[in-house]
Structure 1
Amino acid sequence: MPRSFLTAALAATTFLSFGAAWAGQAPGAASDADIPVSHRDRVYAAEQFSNTVSVTDPANNRLLGVIRLGDPQPGNLSPLYRGQVLVHGMGFSPDHRTLAVVSIGTNSVSFIDTATNAVRHVTYVGRAPHEAFFTPDGSEVWVTVRGEDYVAVLDGHSFEEKTRIKVPAGPGMQIFSPDGKYGYVCSSFNPETVVVSVADHQIVGKVRQASPFCPDLAATPDGDQVWFTLKDVGKVQVFDARPPFGLLKTIDTGPITNHVNIVRNAKGSFAYVTVGGLNQVKVFRTDTFDQVATIPVGNLPHGLWPSGDGSRIYVGLENADAMAAIDTLTNRVIATTPIGQAPQAVVYVPNAVPEGDGRANLQPLGVAGDVAHLTLGPVGNTMAGKTAKDGTPPTNVSLFSQGLSQVLQASVTGLEPKTPYVLALSDHPDGKGKVEPLTAFMTNPAGSAIVNAVGPIRQIVQGNAKDERRYLVIALGTPDQPGAPVQVQSR
């Protein structure tokens, strides 16, 4: 074949690959062409304590920088503050040119140009929105307003709110069938997922959830199934994506089951599920529902998204400030990249930057990369800080720097279900001294919880002055009546 002809053929192939609206991966259709990993692709993570969006090149798994949507504390406490707080949810447009980034604390959706990393528009919606995604034709953006009882429907071009879809209170996330006919909306406050007709915004189906707390769902590219996670009870459920939307399977996955996404590769179709309390990603076949892999990834895996060809899936590690890349044929982690604080939603956008280096408006990681890690283990356990005999990891604690203070986040496991506890400070390493409560929490039915506190905690629990040193503990009871510690700081 003449060289010029070969070059032209390769160029045409590249154009066709990049020109596809969606790849043959979620959230697209199985009939769409796969898009090979390249330097034009980007992996984005929404980071809720640094209020940033990290931008990673998947071709070399290198962090290029962050898009800073807001400031850390105490700057964001000012009454004149104009930035975003608790950057959390994320979606992208069918043409791969626009990110939709949800900030829970400021009730906003920031629309970002993927080529320039510049914020094009900010739309403010109702209380505590959670996720946003474009319809497959790009005409609308649906935003689940979890603090209320509706989905805000924005115009896909002007980004202004045009209507609302009434749903059960606490809508957690929405995703669409690959053909754009249905929108699936799960709930974080009520045990019911609803199916909405995209054409007329009417509810046309309902699916009973095994518990009220669903944070995430995904539709298979073949249009056959919808998978959703139940964070409070550690389960995943699957239902038929077409009428009558019957429940197909309920799977026990483990404590703090976070997100699910779908991968298609040479071995078949698979659902990948992040299980935060086990620090694992579990992999299930979508045809038989058999579990085929368990992948250790790091502390508190949260959001995840496949590459445009399904060869990789990227996982945000909430308590590790990192992104893990998994080879989906071997189901092994092939790279771990430092990113911002407490990544939540993750999206992989093929051909996000069609030309140029795509680094405009990016900033260095800076203070967003400053985090300290601790573990808590059972009182009196010589294996404190290591995996327990039942396979449960220790409680992982991250202290995210906000300057002189930190945001503490603990991924608590191994406690009694539905029981009140306090996270506290003790003046003795074994927890037997005076207990000073930091915050109270209630465990979920799986005996787990995500617990937060704010203060100069790092200086206290890692200090060198013996008379001022304190140790993190978890105790039964309430702040008014704390009981004996059941977990203590091990390192």
Structure 2
Amino acid sequence: MAVRRIGLGLAPVMLMASAGCSAEDMDDLLPDPDANPPRSTLYVTNKRGNDLSVVDLQTGTEIQRVPTCDTPHELALSPDGSLLAVACYGSTTVDILQTAGLEKIVSVELGERAAPHGIVWMPSGNLYVTAEGRQSIFRLSNVEEPIGRKDEFKTGKEGSHMLAVAPDESAAWTTDLSSKTVTRVDLTGDAEPLSVTVGEEPEGISLTPDGKTLWVSARGSDQAFALDPTTMEVRETVETGRFPLRLLVRPQGDVAITSDLRDGGLTVIDLETAKVVRSIAVSSPDEAEQSFQVTILWSDNGERIYVAETASNTVAEVDYQSGEVLRRLEVGEGGDGLAILQPVGAE
């Protein structure tokens, strides 16, 4: 899951300038910013429908739906916003699609029993993905090419599910559902994986923007934990809502939220004090089974939270400051993975 801002190309204008066009001619070529404002787009993988929904966030309507692979779960956007990577949890590949037109350009094969799930596309261009069935993490380079590079790093644990990667890509961390552990993987190859037991059934995971604190939510014990990302020692323990399936740090680095599946809400944790500051009701506890919220995603300005409601085939858009559910966006069956593409200047 990811948010990306992209610029608008000026190549046609530059070509006309080099051909000797006047300033007046060039003004006529420039797009009118009020005529067709750039749109923010939400991408949603639908794990039961085996497809991907595209939602125009200005109108709130689904504008496209395309078939994908078997049981798509998490997805990520490339740094320049031109490509989407879909983790094909029901098979063994990561599929790479162009955001313009959603044409699949390559399937990256990870090997027998891979079951790829957690996925992160780093600014360097390297793509990281967990492979549950192989107890490993893959680092994929030049994924847009038919023959790219694949490096596999073993976690040594069963069910390596969700993923976080250090800003300098020196390490990655997984939550291991079946082993009920959190594992640090040295991506330099200098150290063996380090696994610790954190609460009951850790699943959600997120690293602070400065890379100095690793936050984990344990769905079985209704808790969140702040860990030292190097030693894996627990620094803080925080009680959350019920069944905190996901955890995500705000891009501004001031708070984290957990997606509390059985409460139908979000717990907001102040990262400086490691205290719960409030809860946001996305749905009521009685409605939680009908919505079954899973994946969460911040807008890059931290003003909106998007919550995938897998059972009701919707994504809730929540205003962070007020806690109000602004609207519910209709998507395909079992909407799960989320990514937002925000062109420069888009609202």
TM-score range, shorter chain: 0.7 to 0.9
2:71 match: 86
1:384 match: none
Q: How much does 1:271 deviate?
A: 0.7
The answer to whether the 8 Å contact 1:326/1:334 transfers is: yes
**SS of residue matched to 1:45:** strand
Distance 1:109 1:246, change over 3 A: same
The answer to whether the 8 Å contact 1:136/1:179 transfers is: no
The answer to whether the 8 Å contact 2:241/2:267 transfers is: no
User: Equivalents in 1 of 2:194, 2:123: separation in Å?
Assistant: 20
**SS of residue matched to 1:350:** strand
1:41 match: 40
Q: How much does 1:334 deviate?
A: 1.3
**1:377-392 alignment to 2 at 5 Å?**
none
User: Equivalents in 2 of 1:264, 1:141: separation in Å?
Assistant: 19
Q: How much does 1:200 deviate?
A: 3.8
1:145 match: 131
Q: How much does 1:161 deviate?
A: 5.7
Q: How much does 1:319 deviate?
A: 1.3
AA aligned to 2:238 is I
User: Equivalents in 2 of 1:162, 1:310: separation in Å?
Assistant: 33
AA aligned to 1:234 is D
- Say what the alpha-carbon RMSD is for the aligned residues: 2.7
Q: How much does 1:286 deviate?
A: 1.1
1:155 aligned onto 2:141: yes
Give me the TM-score of the superposition, normalised by structure 1: 0.57
Q: Which has the larger radius of gyration?
A: 1
Q: How much does 1:160 deviate?
A: 4.3
1:459 match: none
**SS of residue matched to 1:147:** helix
Give CA-to-partner distance per residue, 1:213-233, whole Å, 9 cap, x none: 333311122322222222333
AA aligned to 1:46 is T
2:333 match: 341
2:61 match: 62
1:210 match: 199
Distance 1:297 1:163, change over 3 A: same
Give CA-to-partner distance per residue, 1:67-95, whole Å, 9 cap, x none: 221xxxxxxxxxxxxxx221112122222
**1:274-423 alignment to 2 at 5 Å?**
274-298=259-283, 299-351=291-343
1:233 match: 221
1:103 aligned onto 2:91: no
The answer to whether the 8 Å contact 2:251/2:298 transfers is: no
Distance 1:225 1:348, change over 3 A: farther
Q: Percent identity?
A: 21
AA aligned to 2:65 is V
The answer to whether the 8 Å contact 2:163/2:175 transfers is: yes
The answer to whether the 8 Å contact 1:114/1:353 transfers is: no
1:187 aligned onto 2:172: no
Higher relative contact order (CA 8 A, sep 6+): 2
Q: How much does 1:135 deviate?
A: 3.3
Q: How much does 1:171 deviate?
A: 0.8
2:166 match: 177
Give me the TM-score of the superposition, normalised by structure 2: 0.78
Q: How much does 1:252 deviate?
A: 2.9
The answer to whether the 8 Å contact 1:146/1:188 transfers is: no
2:122 match: 135
